[in-house]
Amino acid sequence: MYNLNQYIVDTPSRCHRLSCGDSLFTVYNCRLDDKFADLWSHNNYIVYVAEGKKIWHTPHGSYDLQAGSCVFIRRGAAIVEQFLDTEFCFYLFFVSDTFICDVLKTKSTALHQSDKKYDPIIPIESSEAVHSFFKSMLPYFNAVVPPDQSLLQLKFKELILTLADNKTNEALLCYFCSLLHAPQTVALQSVMEDNFCFNLKMEDFAKLSYRSLSAFKRDFVKVYNTSPGKWLMEKRLQHAKHLLTSGVQSVSDAAFESGFESISHFSRVFSKKFGTSPSTIKRAINILS
């Protein structure tokens, strides 16, 4: 998997961008070679579709993004399905939890907490204010002299406040509230539960949780009473078993969709855990169905 946020930072010749601190804004129309792209980002990002279509796939569901769509994607991993014969242009805005919290604290009216559930990808109402904001950013990309950092910071704050001011974005507002009030242990659990089935490195999980690798491992043991490696193996094996017994996925699909890179390694650890091979379970399910 590759880090989309870092890729844009590292390839300025391909992805023109405006940055201020950890925040980053880009007009993204870089083609990737594969139909399905495995990617992640250590920062949240907002996607506004100016043209074209892509589908973001997560364990919680798939999100079909077309012209005019706008979503908030929480930091983490996803599989993006591309339509290689179609032109596309997306506006991407990357922002950290810290920046969001700092902006929300300046809001004159406090956010009201609710029990609304939110997934890794949160739809945003494509209001006129949202359309206008992204259009207003385009002149800065064409400017001969880059905009002042103070101006960029104001524009980035404007977007967060615009979204927070729209009460119809209930799920997003609930997530914003969680950033302000939820303890760090909850944030760590959220990162792990939402992303365990992706083939991320331990360093990636640490970066997603805004921790150094040593701090991540130390805090993980405090929360889960076991090491990250053991926890990930258990979660991935249980997830793979669920996919196999549901009768839908093949052995290879169950392995890859549970975060395993090698089918032979998956079969070996699966057999050791459950006392039978994944192919044996799959054959039994096929006979019963």
Domain ranges across the chain: 2-181, 183-289
| pLDDT at 56 > cutoff 90 | yes
Q: For residue 4, what are the CA distances in angstroms to 16, 22, 44, 192?
A: 14, 14, 11, 19
| 2-181 and 183-289: identical CATH topology | no
pLDDT 10s digits, 207-251 = 999 999 999 999 999 999 999 999 999 999 999 999 999 877 899
Average pLDDT on 259-276 reads 95
**Superfamily designation of domain 183-289:** Homeodomain-like (1.10.10.60)
| pLDDT at 97 > cutoff 90 | yes
| CA separation for the pair 24, 141 (Å, rounded) | 13
Tokens of 285: 């399910």
| CA separation for the pair 56, 119 (Å, rounded) | 12
| pLDDT at 44 > cutoff 70 | yes
Would you say 102 and 157 are in contact if contact means Cβ atoms under 8 Å apart? no
Residue with more model confidence, 282 or 231: 231
Helix 263-274 to helix 278-288 angle, to the nearest 10 degrees?
80
The predicted structure's pLDDT at residue 34: 79
Average pLDDT on 69-87 reads 92
pLDDT more than 70, % of the chain: 96
User: Which amino acid is it at 109?
Assistant: T
| Mean pLDDT for all residues in the chain | 90
In this structure, the strands spanning 2-3 and 36-41 are parallel
The predicted structure's pLDDT at residue 187: 84
Tokens of 279: 């192919």
The predicted structure's pLDDT at residue 145: 87
The predicted structure's pLDDT at residue 48: 95
**Superfamily designation of domain 2-181:** Jelly Rolls (2.60.120.10)
The predicted structure's pLDDT at residue 88: 86
Within 8 A by CB and 6+ apart from 146, the residues are 18, 140
Instruction: Identify the band that residue 109 occupies on the pLDDT scale cut at 50, 70 and 90.
Output: confident
Sheet containing strand 61-66, strands side by side: 2-3, 36-41, 76-82, 53-58, 61-66
Within 8 A by CB and 6+ apart from 83, the residues are 52, 53, 54
Within 8 A by CB and 6+ apart from 92, the residues are 4, 8, 24, 25, 26, 28, 45, 46, 47
Tokens of 230: 């053991």
